[in-house]
Each structure stands twice: as C-alpha cells, then as structure tokens.
Amino acid sequence: MTTGDITFHTRKWVRPEDLNANGTLFGGSLLRWIDEEAAIYAIVQLGNGNAVTKYMSEINFVSSAAQGDLIEMGLTATHFGRTSLTMRAEVRNMFTRQSILTIEKIVFVNLGKDGLPAPHGYTTITYDRDRVPHQHQHQHLGAIAT
Ligand SMILES: CC(C)(COP(=O)(O)OP(=O)(O)OC[C@H]1O[C@@H](n2cnc3c(N)ncnc32)[C@H](O)[C@@H]1OP(=O)(O)O)[C@@H](O)C(=O)NCCC(=O)NCCS
C-alpha cells in the first residue's frame, strides 16, 4: 500500500518478546526491524548486498503499539548520491491507524569489495527486481582446487 511517496512493504506482529517494561512495543525491536527493512530496500535499489547503515536522523516515537497489534513499515528513496542512498521511513500502527514514528533521513553507503564507499551509478528508484544481486555475498572461494 502506498501513501504519499511511501510504499509500505513489511508488516510485523507485536509479540511478547518485543515489549518494553511499560508493556508496549520496545523501541529497540522497532529500530532493528527498520534497519533491516532499510538494508533490504538499499540492496534492491543499489544492486549490491554490501551496503551499510551510515546515518539515521532524529527518531521521534509519537505513538506506540501493544502486544498483538500489527504494525507496517514503509520506506522511500529520497536522494541518490554518488555512493549513498538516502531514504525516508514511516511506521504505522494498523490497529489504531496512528503513525508510530517517521525518520526523515536514513543513509546507506554502497561499499566495494575493498569495504570502501563505491559509486553505485543509480539516480532513480526501481520498482522492479532488475537490480537484485544474482550472486551470494560470501562465496566460498577456494573450495574447488584445480
Ligand atoms: C560507511 C563508511 C565506509 C563511510 O565512510 P566515509 O569515510 O564516511 O565515506 P565518505 O566520506 O566517502 O562518504 C560516503 C557517503 O556517505 C555520505 N555520508 C558520510 N557521512 C554522512 C553523514 N553523517 N550523514 C549523511 N551522509 C553521510 C557521504 O555524503 C557520501 O555520500 P555520497 O558519495 O553519495 O556523496 C564508514 O563510515 C563506515 O564503515 N561506517 C560504519 C558502517 C557500519 O558498519 N554500519 C553498520 C552499523 S555499525
């Protein structure tokens, strides 16, 4: 589902292990989910499994979720840099329909095989799977000795 420019890809079910001492959704669980969501988005957009989180802007938790609620996470690319991709994120509670948080800037950096920032060459969003990497990130080289 899309609102504005954000496409909501992933839904999560708030389970007991995702709660804080107040009995509501633990911020750490939510941030882990967002970081993974952003990593997947960046890999699909940049065509490189080797992209890392560089920067997240202010995070303001405006409402929460309770055990058993469903939440949905959305991301959109807002800027393609030379080696970086900037995204905007929003998380909503599907039960209360309230926004839980928005993050204006999440920056991922595209890394080369040497682990250093590498140009990705893209300037626009793909809505397809045309950039999805076709190789495993960590090949077991040397397994076949000839
Ligand atoms: C990612 C990393 C290799 C970047 O190194 P760096 O020396 O900052 O690289 P650069 O200065 O060349 O910047 C790379 C890109 O990041 C952007 N960038 C760097 N610092 C930034 C910041 N604070 N905010 C937003 N963007 C930033 C730069 O603008 C550049 O983008 P562009 O090429 O599209 O213009 C390095 O910081 C690193 O290894 N960080 C740890 C990453 C990591 O492990 N993350 C997982 C969580 S621990």
Mutation to probe ligand 1, out of 57, 109, 116, 123 (largest number of atoms < 8 A from CB): 109
Number of domains within the chain: 1
Q: Look up the domain containing 26 and give its range.
A: 2-110
| Residue 96 contacts residue 29 (beta carbons within 8 Å) | no
Q: Give the model confidence (pLDDT) of 44-62 as tens digits.
A: 999 999 999 999 999 999 9
Q: Give the model confidence (pLDDT) of 1-46 as tens digits.
A: 444 578 888 999 999 999 999 999 999 999 999 999 999 999 999 9
Give the atom of ligand 1 at the shortest distance from the alpha carbon of 105: 25
In a domain, 30, yes or no: yes
In a domain, 133, yes or no: no
| Residue 55 contacts residue 105 (beta carbons within 8 Å) | yes
Does 117 contact ligand 1 (Cβ within 6 A)? yes
Distance (Å, rounded) from C-alpha 91 to C-alpha 89? 7
In a domain, 11, yes or no: yes
Residues in the chain: 146
- Model confidence at 140, in pLDDT bands (50, 70, 90)? low
Q: How far is the CA of 7 from the centre of ligand 1 (A)?
A: 25
**Looking at ligand 1, which residue's alpha carbon is closest to its atom 36?**
54
CATH code for position 92:
3.10.129.10
Alpha-carbon distance values, 48 to 7, 8, 12, 40, 110 (Å):
21, 22, 25, 10, 7
